[in-house]
Structure 1
């Protein structure tokens, strides 16, 4: 799943800003709490100093002596607080303790042979301080949400020219003379990217034009001799003196010329990326028999049986010449690697399968069989091929959206299965 550049920029800005806001809020909170404690300590020290001085100058102001606390307890809190017995063991200084779930401060100071316990209640002050801190944290959350919106808006300004360039590139069609105008962009990086794309687009357009010219020339040069062969076969077919094996050979030549013409058409369509065009219902049983026909002599010489177990009325929607190339290469591969047994076509659950009882393919070689110029199997079988048949099969299947799979086991044979792309008219009988 790809995210847009704008989303990534906004996410980065938002994350960095929110982290800074959180760090700032936590820092302010920590600093404020520390300052609060310092302020309370300063107030207590000033108050306890004044209190001791007043008690020394006028002992009548002293509170009653508390024998349990072994000292004087001065209640600076609004409500009287009963100190726990453990307070008398506290060292001199200021302490925070909990009494009845309430946080209070107790200042312990020496007074003659006894101690003076001064109680302070800053609860109201601390409550207001907490409210201020909570308001600060809530404000940080609001600013974080605002940051997300601002970051998304700002990222739109930053990547707007990249988005404009992407829309212009998308609008271009390969082979068009039009190009992107770098002068429309005031950002140096985007203008440089536009210039680089223009150079690449021009090279690709030139390449496409050369390919179109080449395929047009190839089409003309190949169709001309095939037309001559086809015409000659039709004329010879009218000659009654040609009989027996000679007429069979003539028919084979005519079928080979038709097959070659279909192969040329399919290869030219692949070169021109015309994948979705020229599709029609084709009879699977007829296609299988046509693919096996050129190999009849080779199969007979090896005593290998060719079987077509397909319903005669089974049709699929496909490009006939392209399918003929695929089946021809699969059959050729099966014939070269099968010395005995059978080669069998079948069709079930929307999948065309070709099984053989040949030598099989090793598990190490199986992932590479569709690679161009890769050859697997015995040395004699490799010598009769050039390693591009299955590569062409894979290219055609990818072009038309067909799924091709090979399952094989050494010594037991290979199964090639072909599932066609779903179409409204596919698998119509």
Structure 2
């Protein structure tokens, strides 16, 4: 394993260097821009002034030349009327003056005034070029801001990719392991930093998860073997006993109940094993399961619960419905729905209807509240008339089986009478 500095330290150093470098570049750029603009202004001003002086000398060598950038005038209290009108009342100090020259161009000046001893002095400095310099400086600074903003974006993207590369590598390795279906140690591929520590923790978690899955797989295999064997013995023994010629009708009926209970237990074990493995398995050899036939078998197996009750049960197959699922899975789901309808209905009838891609179990029991319909499919939740029997797991198992095969199971109260309707809509 490589030894590197901590990821947090690298982030701090990277952003500190980034900020320092960006600030230094901006400072250098600002100084260069200021020097360049100032040099351009001084050069242009001196060139204009010397061209003006040269033109004056060539026009009349006897006249004293005057300057355009800086000019001075002196008047007394008696001759102040010769000064421009807007200057005559100015007090001692420096004033900002805006005027329009003979060419119609707007000029800005700084005018210094000194009144003392009856003498009034005026010194005018042309600041128009300074305003132009400020505009150039502003444009240059804005351009520099955008340039360095773009540079910071590029550097930030590069630094983030560089600093966070170990995290991306960890995510990619996890993604590759998921595709490969096997987990390999992650920690040896990363440095001794925060990412390496995370990889080490993920390795530990993966080891615990793998061990748990292995134990679960072994448990399912053991349960499947250990429970199926005695159930097979019970089924075969019951079948042999039913072939005896000296059986009384009462004993024969009890053997049939044992046979039905054994078959139901086998189907329940198979369905629970499918749920524990989250494995969706269809019938063998591409066959389909007839819903009406399974419903008829379930109804016959549930008739003993109706003894002593003024209750009837009927099956109505409006149109054949077939599903691509084992008969054991459908039998477990229907056993819970039909068994609940029989258990909660004290008198009346239970009607099972098959058709239109669904099966519905309609009873005349006490019914359910609309707000409790979805809650009944949660683990440990029982109906109000359940009394002390049951653990509230039947409908939860039905929901999980239906989710495994993409079916939609629901319950709702009847709108025409007392009772409830449980339905499974097949995909």
Matching of residue 398 in structure 1 with residue 417 in structure 2: no
Change (3 A) 1:92 1:338: farther
Counterpart of 1:371? 378
Where does 1:345-356 land on structure 2 (aligned, <5 Å)? 345-347=352-354, 350-356=357-363
Counterpart of 1:425? none
Aligned length: 369
SS at match of 2:74: helix
- Cα distance in 2 for partners of 1:348, 1:151 equals 63
- 1:205 aligns with one of 206, 210, 224: 210
Counterpart of 1:266? 271
- 1:230 aligns with one of 235, 240, 248: 235
Counterpart of 1:336? 343
Cα distance, 1:195 vs structure 2: 2.0
Matching of residue 413 in structure 1 with residue 419 in structure 2: yes
- Cα distance in 2 for partners of 1:107, 1:91 equals 10
- Cα distance in 2 for partners of 1:113, 1:97 equals 24
SS at match of 1:55: strand
- 1:183 aligns with one of 182, 188, 213: 188
Structure number with larger C-alpha Rg? 2
Cα distance, 1:267 vs structure 2: 1.1
Matching of residue 290 in structure 1 with residue 297 in structure 2: yes
Cα distance, 1:252 vs structure 2: 4.2
Change (3 A) 1:65 1:310: farther
Counterpart of 2:160? 155
Cα distance, 1:301 vs structure 2: 3.6
Change (3 A) 1:219 1:128: same
Counterpart of 1:77? none
Counterpart of 1:55? 74
Cα distance, 1:180 vs structure 2: 1.0
Cα distance, 1:305 vs structure 2: 3.5
Cα distance, 1:413 vs structure 2: 2.7
- Cα distance in 2 for partners of 1:283, 1:348 equals 11
Change (3 A) 1:316 1:153: farther
Counterpart of 1:389? 394
SS at match of 1:407: strand
- Cα distance in 1 for partners of 2:333, 2:99 equals 87
Cα distance, 1:377 vs structure 2: 0.3
Counterpart of 2:201? 196
Matching of residue 358 in structure 1 with residue 365 in structure 2: yes
Counterpart of 1:322? 329
Cα distance, 1:264 vs structure 2: 1.1
Cα distance, 1:360 vs structure 2: 2.6
Cα distance, 1:239 vs structure 2: 4.0
- Cα distance in 2 for partners of 1:166, 1:417 equals 43
Change (3 A) 1:278 1:237: same
Cα distance, 1:330 vs structure 2: 2.0
Contact between 1:285 and 1:311, CA under 8 Å: does it hold in 2? no
Cα distance, 1:219 vs structure 2: 1.6
- Cα distance in 1 for partners of 2:283, 2:91 equals 97
- Cα distance in 2 for partners of 1:343, 1:117 equals 114
Change (3 A) 1:373 1:56: same
- Cα distance in 1 for partners of 2:290, 2:387 equals 32
Contact between 2:91 and 2:113, CA under 8 Å: does it hold in 1? no
